A and B are shown apart, each in its own frame.
Chain A
C-alpha cells in the first residue's frame, strides 16, 4: 500500500504542500504579468489538487530503483525522463482546464497564457514532479531503514526463544522429577546408591548450566556430561539400558555447540530403549575422518511402534540449530529400520586454537 494514501495524516500534509505549490504557481503567473491574481488562483489550485494524485505514482518509480542496486546515471536518466513525461501530461491538463473549465465557469479562459507563460508552466510541472520523486525517494529510504530495524528486532526475539527452548530442554521436568523419585526409592534400601545418584544429578545440572553459557565445548566435555546423564538413566531403567561409547582421542578434542550429543541420547532412550521389551544398547561412535567430525548414535526401537511425531520434533530442533551455526557445512542424516534407529552428524573439524 502507498505510504501516503494509506495514512490520513500524511495525506493531509501532502495535499497542503500541493496547495502551497498551487499558490506559488499562481503568484509566479501574476508577478510575471501572465495573468491576473484571481484567474491564476482558479487556474492553478484545482490543477495542483488533481495532479497531486498523479504525482503519488513517483513512489513506484522510486521503489523500482532500490538504493542498494542504484546506479546514478540510470537513476538520473529515469527520473529526468519520467519527469519530462509527467510535465507533458501536466501541460495537457493545464491547457484543457484553462479552456474548458474557464469556458464553463467564466465564459472565457482563466489565464490564456502566452507561449513563454506556458513554457514557464511546463517547467514548473517538470520541477514539481522531480521534487515529488525526490521526496518519495527519501520516504522509501526511511521505510526501508524502519523495516530493517523491525527485522533485526524480530531476529533478536527468535534468538532469545531458541535460547529459552534450549534451557527448557536441558532441564527436562520428566527427567528431573523421575530421577528424584528414583532417589526417594533408593534411600529405602540402598542409601549409598541414592547418594551416588544425587551426586550424578547435581553434576549433570551443574555442568549443563556451565556448558550452556559457552558457544563451543569439546566433544570430550560433552561426553563427560553424557556420562552423568547415562549413570542416572541406568539407575532408572536398570538392566534395560546399556550404553557403548566409543570416542577417539582426536574426536574428543574437537569443538562443537554444547548439548549436541545429549539430546540424541535422550531421544534414543525415550523413543527407543524405553519402548522395547528388555531394552538394549545405545551405541555411540565418534571419530574424525576425511577432515570431518562424525558422530553416530544407534539404538533399538520397538518394531510395531509407529514413528512418533515427538521424535521428529526433537530431531528437527537439532537440525535447525546446526544449520544456523554451520550452514551447509553440517550434515545430519537419520534412518529407521523396523528394529533400529540410526542418526549421524557430520561437522567440520574445529579445534581450540593452539591445540
Chain B
C-alpha cells in the first residue's frame, strides 16, 4: 500500500456510540483520516458535497434522509461502506449488486476487511462503482417521496402531493402544490420507480398522478388532454389515451 495516499473518511450515523465505534476501529489505520461526522442524512448530503471524502461510512436508517437517499442526492457512486443493524430489503439489494456493507454489531476483523477492499477500490486503476449505480437506480419498493437538491437545500416532496411530472430537456419539472421543482433525471427512469397504480405516462414528456386527474377533455378530433384538480391541462398522446382508458 502506498503510504502517501491517505484516505479521507466521513462517518454518518445518528447514534453517537455507533460513530464512536467506527472511530475506534479506525485508530489503528494511520492511512485513514476522519474529516467529519454527521448525525443525519441532510447534513451528510452537505458534508459529502463540501468535503468530497474518499470514503463514507453510511448508516441506512437515519432521520430526515436514508443512506440510499443520500447517495441519490449526492450522485456519489463509489467509496461507500454501508452500516446497518437490520434492513432485509437493503441487504438483499447489497448482495445483488455486490456492494459492501457492515452488519451491526460488527467485529474489528470484518471492519478491517471492508476497509482493505475500499482501499483497493480507491486505487487509481479501480473500476467505477457500477453496483452502487444500479442499487440507487433500481429500488425495489415504489417511490414514496421525491427528493430535490437545490444548492444547499433539500426538498422532500411526498408522492401524493405530486400532480404531474414533465420532461424538460435533461430535467424533470415536478409539479406539486402549485410549485414546480426541477430535478436532473430522465422521465423513463422515474417512471420505473413510481407506483404504476398511481401514476401513468400519458405522453412522451408527461406523467400524471391518477389521484389528481379530474377529467379527460377532447379539444379536437383525435386529440385528448387531461385536466388535473389544480386546473392544469396536460396533453395525452394516442397510446397514452389507450392506457388511460383501460385504467379509468
Binding site for B on A (CB under 8 A): 173-174, 176-178, 180-186, 188-189, 235-238, 274-277, 302, 304, 306, 309
Within 8 A of A (CB), among B215-231: none
Which of A181, A189, A306 lies in contact with B104, CB distance below 8 A?
A181
Of B14-22, B67-75, B93-101, B177-185, the one contacting chain A is B14-22
**Is residue B128 contacting chain A, with contact meaning CB distance below 8 A?**
no
Chain B proximity of A198: nearest CB distance (Å): 12
**Is residue B24 contacting chain A, with contact meaning CB distance below 8 A?**
yes
Determine whether the beta carbon of A184 is less than 8 Å from that of B64.
no
**Is residue B145 contacting chain A, with contact meaning CB distance below 8 A?**
yes
- The closest CB in chain A to the CB of B19 belongs to A185
- How many B residues touch the partner, as a band? 20 to 34
- A181 and B103 CA atoms in complex are apart in Å by 9
Determine whether the beta carbon of A277 is less than 8 Å from that of B85.
no
Binding site for A on B (CB under 8 A): 14-18, 20-21, 24, 40, 61, 63-64, 85-86, 103-106, 144-145, 156, 158
A-B contacts at CB below 8 angstroms, number: 63
- A181 and B158 CA atoms in complex are apart in Å by 32
Chain A proximity of B128: nearest CB distance (Å): 31
- A277 and B64 CA atoms in complex are apart in Å by 10
Determine whether the beta carbon of A188 is less than 8 Å from that of B21.
yes
Give the chain B neighbours of A181 by CB distance below 8 A.
Answer: 15, 17-18, 21, 85, 104-106
Which of B16, B64, B104, B156 lies in contact with A180, CB distance below 8 A?
B104
- A275 and B144 CA atoms in complex are apart in Å by 18
Q: A174-B61, A181-B85, A306-B156 are in contact. Are A236 and B105 (CB under 8 A)?
A: no
Supplied contacts A236-B15, A237-B15, A306-B158, 10 more A-B pairs, CB within 8 Å: A173-B86, A174-B61, A178-B85, A180-B105, A181-B105, A184-B21, A185-B20, A188-B21, A235-B17, A276-B63
Which of B17, B85, B86, B158 lies in contact with A185, CB distance below 8 A?
B17
Give the one of B17, B40, B106 with max A CB within 10 A: B17
- The closest CB in chain A to the CB of B27 belongs to A188
Q: Give 30 A-B contacts (CB < 8 Å), ordered by A residue.
A: A173-B86, A176-B86, A177-B85, A177-B86, A177-B103, A178-B18, A180-B105, A181-B18, A181-B85, A181-B104, A181-B105, A181-B106, A182-B15, A182-B17, A182-B18, A184-B21, A184-B105, A185-B18, A185-B20, A186-B17, A188-B21, A189-B20, A236-B15, A238-B16, A274-B14, A274-B63, A275-B63, A276-B63, A306-B145, A306-B158
- The closest CB in chain B to the CB of A175 belongs to B85
Give the one of A185, A186, A188 with max B CB within 10 A: A185
- A84 and B63 CA atoms in complex are apart in Å by 77
- A290 and B106 CA atoms in complex are apart in Å by 52
